[in-house]
Every structure is written in C-alpha cells, then in structure tokens.
C-alpha cells in the first residue's frame, strides 16, 4: 500500500456480538502488555492491544460496560459475554483496543512487549520484538515492590507533565504501566 492510500477502518467487537466498534487508526501496529493488571483483566499471561486516539473509535450500538480498574483508568468490556475490549485513562486522549476483539486480528502486527518485568518467563518466547519495562530488570528477574516504588517515584514528575496517557510513542506503554503499578501498590486498583 502506498503512503497516499488511506488505511481502511478496522471492525471489531465482543464474542456475543452485542458490542461492536469501528476503529480508524493511522497505523497497523500492536503490542503486548505483560503488566499484572492486564494479566488479570484478560485472564491471560499478556494482553494484546493497539493504540489510537479516542476520537478514532466509534462504538456502533453504544459503548461497552466499564470497570474502573483504578481511580484514573477504566477497562471496557461486554457486560453480557465478558470480552475485554479496551483500556483508557479517564483524562487521556488515547485508548487501547484489544487486538483479539478485531474481526481480523491479522491486520495488525506486533511491534513490542511492554511490562516485561512482570511477564511470566515460562510463557515467553523470544520473538525479537522490542522489550520495554518499568525499570530495566534482567530478563527473568522479578522487580521487588520496593524497586517498583522507587522507579515510579523517579518518573512521577515526567508522568504528570505527560498527563498520564501516552509517552512519546503514543502507546499504552511507560505511563500506563507506571500508573497501573502505582495504583496497584497504593491498593487503588
């Protein structure tokens, strides 16, 4: 496809079909999040997402139900079948949609892993994708709560300046995982 051609909208929704959406991202990049909150929300070892602006998503028959996973973020899901559909910061401009909820998830390509300090090593296969972490732990090493708290405090000012939505790459990456970890550590998530 040439750079002049617009990407076609992506369609997706939940397992039972009650919640449907159309998304118009300007890319086809996805990523895996290994943070503990995403593991629990998806009931899986990781969550696969793609990121776009909230105004690039149109819920076709009304929005999903939402679970306030913290005081600063919420997760969209189908209240009938339970399919996880989205993650978003309440005051952020972007939203992450679950790659598996797309009608054709093969339209995306994974580009990175995030939250690798809490990934489950036995379930990880080295695929050559970029690895990003809250702190640069050695692969296979778990970060202690004390280390994560210290890391969070060291970047707190940066997060406030970025309004807790995205970092330079525009994905549910560093700011998201930092905030999720901070919320978990504070007992708010």
Higher pLDDT, 176 or 26: 26
pLDDT of residue 171: 52
Q: Report DSSP state, residue 17.
A: S
Q: With beta carbons less than 8 A apart as the criterion, state whether 60 and 21 touch.
A: yes
**Tokens 């369609």, located at residue:** 11
Q: For residue 124, name the pLDDT band (cuts at 50, 70, 90).
A: confident
pTM of the model: 0.70
Comparing 12-26, 129-143, 151-165, 175-189, which segment has the lowest mean pLDDT? 151-165
Q: How many CB atoms lie within 10 A of CB 158?
A: 12
Is the pLDDT confidence value at 85 over 50?
A: yes
Residue 66 has pLDDT above 80, yes or no: yes
Cα distances (Å, whole numbers) of residue 138 to 12, 52, 94, 96: 37, 31, 30, 27
Span 8-22, pLDDT tens digits:
999 999 999 999 999
96 and 172 Cβ atoms separated by less than 8 Å = yes
Look at strands 29-33 and 109-114 and give their pairing.
parallel
What single-letter DSSP state applies at residue 144?
Answer: P
Q: Which of 39-48, 83-92, 170-179 is predicted least confidently?
A: 170-179
Q: Which residues contact 129 (CB under 8 A, 6 or more apart)?
A: 32, 110, 111, 112, 113
Q: What pLDDT does residue 100 have?
A: 97
8 A C-beta contact, residue 114 and residue 34: yes
User: pLDDT higher for 108 or 182?
Assistant: 108
Tokens of 27: 């890319």
Phi, psi of 123 (to 5 degrees): -105, 5
Length of the chain: 189
Cα(82)–Cα(38) distance, integer angstroms: 15
């Amino acid at each position: 496809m040439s750079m002049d051609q617009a990407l076609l909208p992506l369609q997706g929704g939940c397992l039972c079909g009650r919640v449907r959406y159309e998304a118009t991202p300007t890319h086809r990049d996805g990523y895996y999040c290994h943070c503990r909150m995403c593991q629990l929300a998806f009931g899986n070892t990781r969550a696969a997402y793609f990121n776009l602006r909230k105004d690039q998503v149109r819920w076709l028959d009304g929005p999903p139900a939402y679970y306030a996973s913290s005081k600063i973020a919420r997760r969209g899901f189908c209240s009938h079948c339970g399919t996880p559909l989205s993650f978003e910061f309440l005051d952020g401009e972007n939203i992450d949609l679950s790659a598996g909820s797309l009608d054709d998830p093969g339209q995306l390509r994974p580009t990175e892993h995030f939250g690798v300090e809490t990934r489950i090593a036995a379930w990880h296969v080295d695929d050559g994708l970029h690895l990003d972490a809250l702190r640069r732990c050695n692969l296979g090493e778990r970060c202690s709560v004390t280390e994560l708290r210290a890391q969070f405090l060291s970047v707190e000012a940066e997060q406030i300046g970025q309004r807790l939505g995205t970092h330079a790459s525009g994905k549910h990456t560093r700011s998201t995982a930092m905030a999720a970890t901070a919320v978990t550590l504070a007992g708010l998530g």
